Amino acid sequence: MPGARLGAALPGAHDAGDTRGKRGIVAENDIIARLGRLDSCALSDAMDKLGLPPALSFMPPRTVRGRIAGRVMTVRLAEGPPPPGTTPRHLCSAAIEAAGPGDILLIQHIPGLDAGGWGGILSRAARARGLAGIITDGAARDIDEATEIGFPVFAAATTARTARGRLHEAETGGPITLGGVAARPGDYALADGSGVVLVAAADIDRVLEAAEMIAAREAAMARDVEAGKPVSQVMGADYEHMLHR
């Protein structure tokens, strides 16, 4: 999907350019279901095994605990007020309207800038739209409000400071980078209490296959430990070599 800059119209998440149509709805739903059954640790291990960027650990859950998994829509923010002559619009509003139910909004903020790139009204709008949650490498605000309505926010920081005059939306639906990891609309994300994992659409099939194998092996190890097998035997026999098989 081509990026839409400030003031430009943005197609919906199900319009042309969305790879959902190439896979088919049933296949896409299966991918999301499989992703949601994993956790960030198994997924990160799979990424390591395949030589892909592993989990990012600096964007913890700030509201409800739990896991979100889905396809992503992207927003890139920039510092300062909107450029002169542009049509103003509220941060992330176009992305919420372009995203589909179950999607995750990824927001590239300005790390270290103390200004909320996400807030309470946006959380309410995203929840009403059916989004699974948001992930940002910067600050979010109105955390108590998002917690009250049960909307998942994963953010590098929290703040009470407004974005007015401090941030503007530079692009929606284009390529972004979070923690050095590239993402674009149609890619996949999973976030939980341990970390955030971003998976390119082109890699999702092999990543899921590897992660499911790792999760199955760890489940077997957990059963052995709970059955009374010494943990030194369980971990020593398999753990250190799991990613090389």
pLDDT in tens, 143-185: 999 999 999 999 999 999 999 999 999 999 999 999 999 999 9
**Number of other CB atoms surrounding residue 189 within 10 Å:** 27
Return the minimum-mean-pLDDT range out of 83-87, 163-167, 202-206, 218-222: 83-87
Percent of the chain with pLDDT over 70: 87
Q: What is the CATH number of the domain that holds 40?
A: 3.50.30.40
15 — pLDDT class (breaks 50, 70, 90): very low
244 — pLDDT class (breaks 50, 70, 90): low
Q: Are residues 66 and 144 in the same domain?
A: yes
Q: Which domain holds residue 102?
A: 4-201
Q: Is 120 annotated as a binding residue?
A: yes
What was the pLDDT predicted at 16? Answer: 33
Q: Are residues 177 and 239 in the same domain?
A: no
pLDDT in tens, 21-43: 466 788 899 999 999 999 999 99
**Number of other CB atoms surrounding residue 97 within 10 Å:** 14
What was the pLDDT predicted at 233? Answer: 87
What was the pLDDT predicted at 119? Answer: 98
Q: Are residues 139 and 27 in the same domain?
A: yes
Does residue 5 have a pLDDT over 50? Answer: no
Please tell me whether residue 58 adopts helix, strand or coil conformation. coil
Q: Are residues 95 and 51 in the same domain?
A: yes
Does residue 6 have a pLDDT over 80? Answer: no
What residue spans of the chain are helical by DSSP H? 20-23, 25-36, 40-49, 93-98, 120-129, 143-149, 204-226, 231-238
What was the pLDDT predicted at 61? Answer: 98
Q: Is 217 annotated as a binding residue?
A: no
Q: What is the sign of the dihedral through the CA atoms of 163, 87, 104 and 48?
A: negative
**Predicted structure pTM score:** 0.88
What was the pLDDT predicted at 12? Answer: 44
Q: Are residues 103 and 197 in the same domain?
A: yes
Q: Is 141 annotated as a binding residue?
A: yes
The values of phi and psi at residue 14, to 5°, are -105, 10
Give how many domains the chain has, as a whole number.
Answer: 2
Q: Distances from the Cα of 40 to the Cαs of 44, 181, 186, 194, 208, in angstroms?
A: 6, 15, 19, 6, 12
**Alpha carbons within 13 A on the beta-carbon side of 211:** 27
> Could you give the CA distance from residue 192 to residue 7 in angstroms, rounded to a whole number?
33
Q: Are residues 87 and 24 in the same domain?
A: yes
What was the pLDDT predicted at 235? Answer: 86
Q: Is 121 annotated as a binding residue?
A: yes
